[in-house]
A and B are shown apart, each in its own frame.
Chain A
Amino acid sequence: MKIIKLIFKNAFRHKLRTALTIGGMAIVVIAFGLLRTVVTAWYVGVEGSAADRLVTRHSVSFILPLPYAYLDKVKQVPGVKHVSFFNWFGGIYIDKTQFFARFAADANTVFDVYPEFVVNKKELEDFRKERNACILGRDIAKQYNLKIGDVMTLEGDIFPGRWDFVIRGIYQPKFKTTDATAMIFQWEYLNERMIEESPERANEIGWFAIKIDNPNEAAAVSNKIDALFKNSPAETKTETERAFQQGFIAASSAIIEGMNAISFIIVGIIMLVLGNTMIMAARERTREYAVLKTLGFSGGHLIGLIMGESLFISALGGGVGLALTFPIVAFFESVLPKGWFPIFQVEPVTIILAISAVIIIGVAAAIFPVQRALSTKIVNGLRFVG
């Protein structure tokens, strides 16, 4: 027999109590994993932003357009390498629950500014040749079983009417954090329709995406761009893509921070639950610990026994929780409206945090029982009646 066997046997001395604690631990790890996954999914745009990319938008609000005519001036600013521009299109595909990002973009520059959207040369050429061509992210193409040559019809809301697009390319995400759920079509197609149907909305763009030569000069380049349009009817605000993304999600940051805090609070709660379980277990075994000490077992042995049991229960619950987190996150992803979170998966950092929490909980829950077992004198322990 080894001490480890005694740890195992002690852990299951009260099977129901241990099972409930393990179940609680598993639920906490699942909740922790799910909440952290939502938080990381929310910030995926920020994480995926490039240091050498700026975004120029209307100084008042992101929803106000900028004149297309600004393009040439922006291109002339020293330090600017490539400039592309976008309009948020919106629209409805199939029904309103089928959500994913749809942009009108400059076909000639969009993939220069966003090299992490990887498109093969032929598909890119085909896309540029055809006015109503579009390129889809890999995940969206897979989700709707769309392939090159298929026609995709959107019902416009911001830009009313029926919009037919021919799929001419499918881009692959270069990095894990790259959004693979966007649809990009030619801004010219949108603009031509606007010229015909709503001339007052023609030649307007939503924002510029600018690739710069040196990320260290981001602030200086931003200031130069904004200075160009000072005191104009459409003043600009230029910032790094990261700042832009952070501003974009700022409205919901309180909720996200709340979720973040809750994910750690529940870890604290289960720490108290496991601590209580261990205190009860150690109290019931006061006499046994005294017997073990009498037989010559040292304080280190008792620490090993109590800490080992606590870590064992914590690890078992954590392991079950972690194993269930993956299918549960996948289930949540499947029931969430499509495209809400372009990347919704359990990140390695979440797994590391969960494992760390499991270890910390296991150790912390054993501190008081260990302290009690060590400080109880043998003669008092032998007299203990639980």
Chain B
Amino acid sequence: MSEIIQVKNLSKSYWRDSFEIPVLNNINLTVNEGDFLALMGPSGSGKTTLLNLIAGIDKPTNGDVVVNGTDISKLSESALAKWRSSNVGFVFQFYNLIKVLTAYENVELPLLLTKLSKAERKKHVETALSIVGLGDRMNHYPKQLSGGQEQRVAIARAIVTDPLILVADEPTGDLDKNSADEILTLVERLNKEFKKTILIVTHDPHAAERAHIKHHLDKGELTLEQS
């Protein structure tokens, strides 16, 4: 399979007043198309930072992130925003749905940035919601859904544009065991059935077990565990 993500000599530091806090140190990573990769590590190890850099919502201090041939670390903010809208699907720990929008409208949000017609958008949204098993909850607001259902809506929102990669930051971190299993099964299905390249950040070993590749991140250093 072809390499879809190449992380080269990536470093990231944050600044607190005049103090530099290094988070990632000279990271190198390659992800192939169709991989299901888990990033593990203790809190503060930099796994979310690495995920954010790969997904183009943060900029590295040094090094490059090349996704499908595009060095996203060189893109401007507006170009990066456009790139994200068509290449990356995001799943967050706390779902991050817009409270005043229905499940349908939340899933439709990324499609508003495309040139699809209303009818085409409807078809895409219905497909995405049916994939996550919420075809009958389209008109429900987030507060009318359980945590697991909210996360499934978030997954539908992430896949509705058919992105190149799907990134999930602790997608089961806020869920009970049953709901977490449902979400992980769904993510697994997206990888197997729909051939999505998936990067998941978790410190839950059970969640990481679902991935094909596990990387451990600690003190800014990345190590491959086992496949």
Chain A interface residue number, banded: 20 to 34
Q: A1-B105, A3-B112, A379-B58 are in contact. Are A295 and B100 (CB under 8 A)?
A: no
Measured CB to CB, the closest approach of chain B to A267, in angstroms, equals 30
Q: Does B147 contact A (CB under 8 A)?
A: no
- Tell me if A330 counts as interface (CB < 8 A to partner B): no
Shortest C-beta distance, A6 to chain B (Å), equals 7
- B110–A296 contact, CB under 8 A? yes
Determine the chain A residues whose CB is within 8 A of the CB of B112 once the complex forms: 1-3
Partner of B96, one of A5, A297, A382: A382
Residue of A nearest to B125 (CB): A1
B78 and A295 form a contact (CB under 8 A): no
Cβ–Cβ < 8 Å partners of B109 in chain A:
1, 292, 295
Contact with B along A1-19 (1 / 0, CB 8 A): 1110110011001000000
CA distance A298 to B76 in the complex (A): 12
B contact residues, total (Cβ < 8 Å): 28
- Inter-subunit contact B100/A10 (CB<8 Å): yes
Report whether B82 and A287 are in contact in the complex, using a CB–CB cutoff of 8 Å: no
Q: In the complex, which of the residues B49, B58, B90, B99 contacts A295, with contact meaning CB atoms closer than 8 Å?
A: B90
Chain B 45-64 against A: per-residue CB contact (8 Å), 1 yes, 0 no? 00001001001011000000
CA distance A3 to B100 in the complex (A): 13
Q: Which residues of A contact B92 (CB under 8 A)?
A: 291, 382
Question: CA A3 – CA B105 in complex, angstroms?
Answer: 11
Partner of A297, one of B58, B90, B99, B113: B113
A378 close to chain B: CB less than 8 A:
yes
Q: Is the interface of A mostly helix, strand, loop or mixed?
A: helix
Name the CB-closest residue of B to A381: B57
Task: Convert A211-251 into 0s and 1s, putting 1 for each residue whose CB lies closer than 8 angstroms to a CB of B.
Answer: 00000000000000000000000000000000000000000
- Neighbouring A residues of B98 by C-beta, 8 Å: 6, 288, 291
Which A residues, 280 to 300, have Cβ-Cβ distances below 8 Å to chain B? 287-288, 291-299
Q: Find residues 65-115 in chain B having any chain A CB closer than 8 Å to their own CB.
A: 77-78, 81-86, 90, 92, 96, 98-101, 104-105, 108-110, 112-113
Contacts of B55 in A (CB 8 A): 294
- What are the residues of chain B within 8 A of A293 when measuring CB–CB? 57, 81
Grouping DSSP codes into helix (H, G, I), strand (E, B) and loop, the B interface class, with mixed when no group exceeds half, is: helix
Distance of A381 from chain B, by nearest CB (Å)? 10
Are A379 and B85 touching (Cβ within 8 A)? Answer: no
Q: Which residues of B contact A10 (CB under 8 A)?
A: 100
Q: Which residues of B contact A382 (CB under 8 A)?
A: 57, 92, 96
Proximity bits, A347-386, B CB within 8 Å = 1, else 0: 0000000000000000000000000000001110010000
Q: Bound complex: CA of A299 vs CA of B80, how far in Å?
A: 12
Separation in Å of the A13 CB from the closest CB of chain B?
6
B113: A residues at CB distance < 8 A: 295-297
Nearest residue in B to A291 (C-beta to C-beta)?
B96
A-contact 0/1 string along B96-139, CB 8 Å cutoff:
10111100110011101100000000000000000000000000
> How long is the Cα–Cα vector from A378 to B109 in the complex, in angstroms?
17
CA separation between A1 and B138, bound complex, in Å? 13
CB-contact partner of A6 in B81, B85, B90, B101, under 8 A: B101
Chain A residue contacts of B104, Cβ below 8 A: 1
Which among B49, B84, B86, B108 is the interface contact of A294 at CB below 8 angstroms? Answer: B84
CB atoms of A297 and B81 under 8 A apart: yes
A294 CB contacts on chain B under 8 angstroms: 55, 57, 84, 90
Contacting pair A1 B108 (CB below 8 A): yes
Q: Which residues of A contact B86 (CB under 8 A)?
A: 296
Interface residues of chain A, those whose CB is within 8 Å of chain B, are: 1-3, 5-6, 9-10, 13, 287-288, 291-299, 377-379, 382
CB<8 Å pairs between A and B, sample of 19: A1-B101, A1-B105, A1-B112, A6-B98, A13-B99, A288-B98, A291-B98, A295-B84, A295-B85, A295-B110, A295-B113, A296-B82, A296-B83, A297-B81, A298-B78, A299-B78, A382-B57, A382-B92, A382-B96
A3-B112, A296-B84 provided; 19 other pairs, C-beta below 8 A?
A: A1-B105, A2-B112, A6-B101, A9-B101, A10-B100, A13-B100, A288-B96, A293-B57, A295-B85, A295-B110, A295-B157, A296-B113, A299-B77, A377-B58, A378-B57, A378-B58, A379-B49, A379-B57, A382-B96
B residues adjacent to A (C-beta < 8 A)? 49, 52, 55, 57-58, 77-78, 81-86, 90, 92, 96, 98-101, 104-105, 108-110, 112-113, 157
Give the 8 A-B CB pairs with smallest separation, nearest first.
A296-B85, A9-B100, A378-B57, A291-B96, A1-B105, A296-B84, A295-B110, A296-B81
